[in-house]
Chains A and B, each alone.
Chain A
């Protein structure tokens, strides 16, 4: 008879990200919303105090959620519960681990606590997801111990353009890396500001060593399928669901669109009659949100 041995290994931490592939992770602010998300077919929920669209409007400092609210959501659903810690705020992460949260998102949507250092994620048994706008940022987060990367997009805008930009940038550079010769990889590592062994590893494998999810601005079933066709392993939908007119059917439609992302007949069917999506915010030509808030620039 075998006994359980090691907890918190990289394989076990990354493994949960593998299990969430092809699914939708939804932002929720109450146990009731968490129930709506699970009933719609979400593979996980992200418990937070305000969705990014409200954080943009309210301003002020955005922090980790109240543990009581996270506990309430944990008791309501059977799927994994994630929660956000501020960039560099390792004590918020320690608290979230103690609460038994299944994944910690070191997130640019919250106000950063450290302008130089991200959390040392190797020090934790709970796995971390981190945002990235490009390949270098993704590799820096992985070298700090992140077990899942999500392209940042621009959270709370309902505008998919930045998510597309970031996914294309990460996957485009991955493809270029596979064409580079040994000497060029040294220059790539410098340009990417990423550890050489990691750069050499992905040049060989052609993929990130952890799953790549997409986040930030997805509001419709078509947006979710677009992210999947551009190579995302799964999607996060934040404000896009509970800031729309009718969240439950939209959530369900986005789940089906993510599963059947190449099937235009199904996409056409599930996109019908969902009511108005969230209004959304335009982007200026340089990619900055027209309300002046740019979550994507947070993190280094």
Chain B
């Protein structure tokens, strides 16, 4: 089993390191041929508009969309959540989404960088809170009937799954404030979603 991490831009190294730490090797994906060798894809945090553009220019958008439609498991964080959703509000007009999970997101829904925040997040199925960072994070405005919401902030979904897809508005790939890693989201993706 091989996991690819979309590496066009953003915090992709952190996802590679997280999977490595769990004993699951991960590779960076930048070109269409690199997609052929992976069984699942993680899409990191970064700028979703920039990634959408680079996906199209590099001929990666359609191949990924086809793989997702055929059931390829995927994990998306922040920008990755936006890209894997059905629709994005307040984005660039030419910004595209894969529609792999039926959610509508609003880009930078919590505000600008000074509104970015940390919070101790209660997640269904975890026995202690997850120390989560929301950085210019998207808000989930709508979830489809087949989407399971695992955590909320202010009543808004921030961690969702549907079939083989898991998306988070926050950044489980970033180290905790004391410099260690909390890999419970990545582990859950490997154990339950994959």
Contacts and interface: CB of A to CB of B under 8 A. Distances in A.
Sort chain A's interface into a size bin. 35 or more
Contacts of B92: 38, 78
B8 A22 contact: yes
Contacts of A260: 30-31, 58
Contacts of A12: 116-118, 133-135
A229 B3 CA distance: 24
B76 interface: no
Interface stretch (B19-27, B63-71, B152-160): B152-160
B45 interface: yes
A10 B13 contact: no
Nearest to A265: B31
Interface stretch (B49-57, B97-105, B140-148, B184-192): B49-57
B151 A256 contact: no
A238 interface: no
Contact of A16 (B9, B57, B135, B176): B135
A18 interface: yes
Interface in B160-193: 171, 174-177
A201 B30 CA distance: 33
Interface in B87-119: 90-92, 107-108, 110, 112-119
A21 B175 CA distance: 16
B124 to A, nearest CB: 12
A21 B58 CA distance: 18
Contacts of B58: 256, 259-260
Nearest to A3: B154
A22 B118 contact: no
Given A2-B129, A16-B113, 14 more contacts: A1-B122, A3-B153, A6-B119, A7-B117, A18-B171, A19-B136, A20-B10, A22-B46, A23-B47, A43-B47, A79-B47, A79-B49, A80-B112, A260-B58
Interface of B: 7-14, 30-31, 45-47, 49-50, 53-54, 57-58, 78-79, 90-92, 107-108, 110, 112-122, 129, 133-136, 151-155, 171, 174-177
